[in-house]
Amino acid sequence: MLLLAQAAAAAVIYIGGSGQQAEQAVRSNHGDVGSTMVQLSRRWLGAPYRAFSLDQSPQERLQVDLQGFDCFLLVEQALALARSQTKTGFEQALQQLRYGGQSTDYCHRQHYFTRWAQTAIDQGAIRDLNPALPGVTSRQRRLNFMSRHPDSYQPMQQRRNRDCIGKLERNLLVSQSFVPLKALPAALAKLRNGDIFALVTDINGLDVTHVGLVERNGNQVNGLHAAPGHGVIRSPDLVRYGGSIDNVIGMSFFRPLPR
């Protein structure tokens, strides 16, 4: 597994000045992981939203962009940076999170948040908070959105990618715990700076439509996230924000763990 990560790190692609930013970030990692993730995301406020940025090259590569984000990459890169002490360590951590310990390949990328989260749990990077939260419920969810909507994904125009994703999704059933919208206010007291939130959806074939980070300011709980049309923003009142998004039925929460 380590050899795969090292091989991928050798081929890492940094967008713009992201390499220098990564170097500065890991050198200043002295606090706990969650607080560091929030500090990083605050620095990124105002950065542009870049949809499908990993899909622009015909060949999959380990790409780092700390100057423009989609919601998933903001969380993933913040977590990898906050848990690393060196730039090489960051590259290895990112590769492990994004590809689950396998080679850097579109077919191995963790496209669905529930699978990504389980990979991160298995790696000791995060902990599932949902079982201990008030009002939590669970469901079995079949994930097949990508294979049913291949035209929405540029890499799915390649037959090998359509085939491997179709094979993966043929029997892809996951268990998903979450807090329904009406129960969210009671769960806020248990959340900390840097906890990861995910918006749970009722769209067929999907588990989650958006992710971000919890930011606490006393009793105020906000969301730091990369939003289409807005870039990296702070949404005051996380509960109100979640309830304003179409097809959202609740949220799930995960806590970053020490290095």
- The pair phi, psi for residue 129, each rounded to 5°, is -85, -20
pLDDT of residue 105: 97
- As beta bridge partners, residue 14 has 64
Domains of the chain (ranges plus CATH)? 2-125 (1.10.3670.10), 127-256 (2.30.260.10)
Residue range 219-224: mean pLDDT, rounded: 96
pLDDT over threshold 60, residue 2? no
Whether the model pTM is above 0.75:
yes
Residue pair 252/126 in contact (Cβ under 8 Å)? The answer is no
The size of the chain, in residues, is 259
Tokens of 171: 């029997």
Residue 244, helix vs strand vs coil? coil
146 closest CA partner among 132, 133, 163: 163
Residue pair 145/203 in contact (Cβ under 8 Å)? The answer is yes
Residue pair 45/227 in contact (Cβ under 8 Å)? The answer is no
pLDDT of residue 10: 47
Q: Report percent pLDDT > 70 for the chain.
A: 96
Q: In which band, very low, low, confident or very high, does the pLDDT at 64 lie, cut at 50, 70 and 90? A: very high
pLDDT of residue 66: 98
Longest dimension (CA), the chain: 51
